[in-house]
A = this chain, B = another copy of it.
Amino acid sequence: MKLFGNAVIGQSGGPTAAINATLAGVIRGAMLSREIETVYGSINGLEGILENRLTELNGQFQRKECFDLLIQTPAAALGSCRKKLKDPEEDPETFRLLFERFRAANIRYFFYIGGNDSMDTVKKLSAFASSGGSDWEMRFIGVPKTIDNDLFGTDHTPGFGSAAKYIAVSVQEILRDCSVYTVPTVTIVEIMGRDAGWLTAAAALPGRISGKAPDYLYFPERSFSYDAFFGDLKEALSLHPNVVVAVSEGIRLSDGTYVGSGAQSGVADVFGHRYLAGTGKVLEGAVRETLGCKVRSVELNILQRCAAHCASKTDWDEAFSIGREAVTAALDGGSGIMVGFCRESDNPYRVSVTSSDVSQIANRIRCLPDEFINPSGNGVTEPCLDYLMPLIVGEPETVWRQGLPVHFAIDQSVFRPREESKS
Interface residues of A (CB under 8 A from B): 11, 15, 44, 47, 73-76, 79-82, 165, 168-170, 172-174, 176-177, 179-182, 205-206, 208-210, 262-263, 265-273, 275, 277, 281-282, 284-286, 288-290, 296, 298-299, 301-303, 305-310, 312, 389, 392-395, 400-407
Taking a contact as CB atoms under 8 Å apart, the answer to whether A74 and B269 are in contact is: no
Question: When the two chains form their complex, are residues A306 and B174 in contact, meaning their CB atoms are under 8 A apart?
Answer: yes
- Known interface pairs A266-B268, A273-B285; A309-B181 also in contact (CB < 8 Å): no
User: Are B404 and A209 within 8 A (Cβ)?
Assistant: yes
B302 touches A403 (CB 8 A): no
B288 near A273: Cβ-Cβ < 8 Å: yes
Across the interface, do B298 and A269 meet the contact criterion of CB distance under 8 Å? no
**Which chain B residue lies CB-closest to A17?**
B173
Contact of A269 among B44, B263, B307, B312 (CB under 8 A): B263
Check A271–B299 contact: CB distance below 8 A: no
Contact (A275, B285) CB under 8 Å given A76-B180, A168-B404: yes
Q: A209-B401, A267-B270, A275-B281 are in contact. List 5 more A-B contacts (CB 8 A).
A: A79-B182, A172-B405, A262-B269, A275-B284, A277-B281
* A305–B170 CA distance with the chains assembled, in angstroms: 11
| Partner among B182, B298, B310 whose Cβ is within 8 Å of the Cβ of A309 | B310
* Complex contacts, A310 vs chain B, CB 8 Å: 309-310
Distance to closest chain B CB from A262 (angstroms): 4
| Cα of A282 to Cα of B174 in the assembled complex, Å | 25
Whether B266 contacts A182 by the Cβ 8 Å rule is: no
- Please state if A180 and B75 are interface contacts (CB–CB under 8 Å): yes
- Once bound together, how far apart are the Cα atoms of A319 and B236, in whole Å? 35
A117 to chain B: closest CB distance in Å?
A: 14
User: Residues of B contacting A299 with CB < 8 Å?
Assistant: 299, 301
Which residues of the partner chain B approach A169 to less than 8 Å between Cβ atoms? 309, 404-405
Residue of B nearest to A170 (CB): B303
13 A-B residue pairs with Cβ-Cβ distance under 8 Å, sorted by A, are: A75-B176, A81-B182, A165-B403, A168-B404, A172-B404, A174-B302, A176-B306, A205-B403, A206-B404, A209-B403, A263-B270, A267-B277, A275-B284
Give the CA-CA distance A156 to B262 in the complex, in Å.
44
By the criterion CB–CB under 8 Å, are A270 and B284 in contact? no
Whole-angstrom CA separation of A402 from B3 in the bound complex: 44
Contact yes or no, A306 B402, CB < 8 A: no
Contact check, A80 vs B180: say whether CB atoms are below 8 A apart.
yes
Q: Would you give the shortest CB distance from A191 to chain B, in whole angstroms?
A: 13
Measured in the bound complex, the distance between the Cα atoms of B203 and A403 in whole Å is 13
Please measure, in the bound complex, the distance between the C-alpha atom of A262 and the C-alpha atom of B271, giving whole angstroms.
9
